[in-house]
Amino acid sequence: MATNRDREDEQKRVNYVIEEINQKAEDLYSKSKGLKEDVIHLRKTFWEDVTVNLDEPDDVIETQASIKQQAELLTEREQSHGKIDEQLKTLKRLKDSPYFGRIDFIESGEQDAEQLYIGISSLMDRDEENFLVYDWRAPISSLYYDYSPGKAAYETAEETVTGEISLKRQFIIRQGLIKGMFDTGITIGDELLQQALGNNASSTMKSIVATIQKEQNKIIRNERSNLLIVQGVAGSGKTSAALQRIAYLMYRYREELNPENVVMFSPNPLFSSYISNVLPELGEANVRQTTFLNYLRDAISEKITIESPFEQMEYVLTGKADANYSARMESMDYKSSVDFMQVLDNYIVELEDEGIRFKNITFQDRILISKEAISKYFYSLDPAISIPNKMEHVSKWLLKELRIHQEEEKEKDWVMEQVELLDKEDYLQAYYQDQDQDEDITMEEDILRKEIVKRFFARIKKQVKQYKFVNVLATFYKMYTDWHPVGSVPANWKLISNLTAESLSKRYLTWEDATPYVYFRGRILGDNSDRSVRHLFIDEAQDYSAFQYAFLKHIFPYTRMTLLGDINQAIYTQVTKENPLVPQKEVRNYERITLTKSYRSTKQIVEFTSDFAPGEELIEPFEREGSLPKVVQADHSEITSMLVHQVEKTQEKGNETIAIICKTLKETEEIYNAIKENISVTMIDEETYSFQKGILVLPTYLAKGIEFDGVIIPNASDQFYRAESDRTLFYTACTRAMHELILIVEGEPSPFIGEVDENKYEVQ
């Protein structure tokens, strides 16, 4: 165990490291100041230092070279200033807490132990000779996360280094002072975790590098797997580990990986905001973050409305009175399967012979090239050529045809009318842009006519290059009206087809149709797969359907994927029959890591929720004590006052962020309107991109991945949570709580509460 003398020595070292940080920061600041002055001076005098002469061709070349040289000098100074600025930010973070761990490692064949201090970034002494702190991502730092004192080893790019750890020590350092220090074994010490987890919830996720566990470290440092599946119970730190994994990969492959090469799909914009702080905290730029919904919207690039997954969920939960409800549910289930992808593939095969719909190419309300002519040309091409390649041939043919029409239009009266509307600047620009102009002034009209028509036709040519002449929506619509699928389809297929056709006629895609439409569009026009994406991270992967997952594998065939999720929280139950988190037998080089320990909630909350967890995954509570969850009985007339009372009581205990989590958006709006006059409360919907601490009211599906000091379920009765399909919603809502969980019940409690041992909660 560490002694008082050890603590004094360690504090002296912290003081020494901070002195080194201050000295380095001072040196960098001086450099930065000089560079900033250089940049300002270069910007001010840019044109003074450039030789401008445009009289002769040789002078023009010299002028261009002079501008390029001056621009390169300015860019180099700006980049240097930017790098120093980043280094200063890192030093500022280190100054508060230079490191969080120490290991003494005796390498095999050596006598003396080397003291290794681990922090969020590497730090060398002012002579740049010795490491004062090792970056947590460095190969040698894996010793801290993976081993207890005793035999140990770590991998470098060239070899495996073996040896022995003689000491493993952890620190809590704040503002340069050691607040806690203890020697520990293989797992990161409970004391450090207790302090980290006992704090209040934040409006943004925090970095967990000081408390990474061995299993999380396996996720972070995995470099082998093409597919890494992480099944983690609620609060197991899977998202945090994924973000540290991104930071690790950016560090490990710094020369070849940049933020544009990494994409992360988040469940909703609120969650994207919640995790936006983690990578910058670790000194890395944020990677490309989007939701799958926004990805599909961008891919469609047409004026088509897409139903969001949250709107679909609302329909599932509240639309039972709709006459077409059962058909829509069957449609969701079927269109979420890989069987439906096969149906689309069969339809596309038939389109190779006939059936693709095209659009007329028009100009000034006149048809220049008819859709029939385009179709005839398309189907005259060699059948062996793929559909997207044929579209490329058609595009080139159309551009050629348009050049002929452009030449014909040049002589028409409307062109001269447009010439007369040109202002002086446009007139001169049009005249001098023509490189083949003759000195003869009689050529002037011809040049200007040519330029006007070229401008008018530019928009049409751009649309042709974007394949806007293909009517993808009409071709997709035809599948539901004029085509009979081969193979097994649902019994209600005719009704499903009619409902789908009705939506498509309004240029509206339901959520279950959105991915199939984008897939179909790609098979017709060619996929816009982003070859630059090297790593794809999918959070809440359990909510992706088999079709959506197959689509992503199709779009990103050479991309390494990391899937994160929890089968227990699969709230889109109608589309999770083939869950991407289950073992992937057909994928080569994949690994599945299971995180069973829940760190978010107190032991009492974890033990309560484990009794009605939907899956069979083992859930282990972390030994952090708290109060028992409370089941509070209330009459209908008391619900509002009881809610306000429970919020106030929870606040009195020091809880800053309290979430009232409802089943649906409809219930969320009702609760918000009922209590907003009594307490300061914020309602969260799918358009909310960030939140502050305080009292929040929101539906379950927007709370995924986020944690709160206290959670109140405003109606935990069997009226609201009774069906088996409600189990994942109820479980997800309850597991958002860190310290306090309160369930208000009107009438009979939910049967899920009935599955819990009565000793695990308190009735009021």
Q: Evaluate whether 292 touches 536 at the Cβ level (below 8 Å).
A: no
Distance of CA 681 to the CA centre of its chain: 28
Q: Is 239 annotated to bind ligand?
A: yes
Give whole-number Cα distances, 241 to 35, 44, 275, in Å: 38, 47, 12
Q: Evaluate whether 32 touches 85 at the Cβ level (below 8 Å).
A: yes
The SS3 assignment for 156 reads coil
Residues 363, 365, 370, CA angle at the centre, nearest 5°?
A: 65
265's tokens: 């799909």
d(CA 103, CA 154): 13
Q: Is 690 annotated to bind ligand?
A: no
Q: Evaluate whether 192 touches 170 at the Cβ level (below 8 Å).
A: yes
Q: Is 119 annotated to bind ligand?
A: no
d(CA 235, CA 711): 14
Give whole-number Cα distances, 62 to 45, 47, 76, 116, in Å: 19, 14, 21, 56
Q: Is 472 annotated to bind ligand?
A: no
Q: Is 235 annotated to bind ligand?
A: yes
Alpha-carbon radius of gyration of the chain: 32
433's tokens: 């842009």
d(CA 490, CA 337): 12
d(CA 498, CA 720): 32
The SS3 assignment for 297 reads helix
d(CA 267, CA 658): 21
Q: Spell out the residues 6+ positions from residue 341 whose beta carbon is closer than 8 angstroms to its own.
A: 516, 519, 547, 550, 551
Q: Tell the residue number behind the tokens 């009702």, with chain if given.
A: 670
Q: Which strand (E) or helix (H) includes residue 146?
A: helix 142-146
Residues 558, 563, 569, CA angle at the centre, nearest 5°?
A: 155
Burial zone of 73 (CB within 10 Å; 0-12 exposed, 13-18 middle, 19+ buried): middle
Q: Is 481 annotated to bind ligand?
A: no
d(CA 176, CA 156): 32
d(CA 427, CA 407): 20
Q: Is 234 annotated to bind ligand?
A: yes
d(CA 153, CA 165): 9
Q: Evaluate whether 495 touches 327 at the Cβ level (below 8 Å).
A: yes
Q: Is 233 annotated to bind ligand?
A: yes
214's tokens: 């061995």
d(CA 332, CA 513): 8
d(CA 492, CA 326): 9
In the annotated binding site, the residues are 232-239
In the annotated binding site for ATP, the residues are 232-239
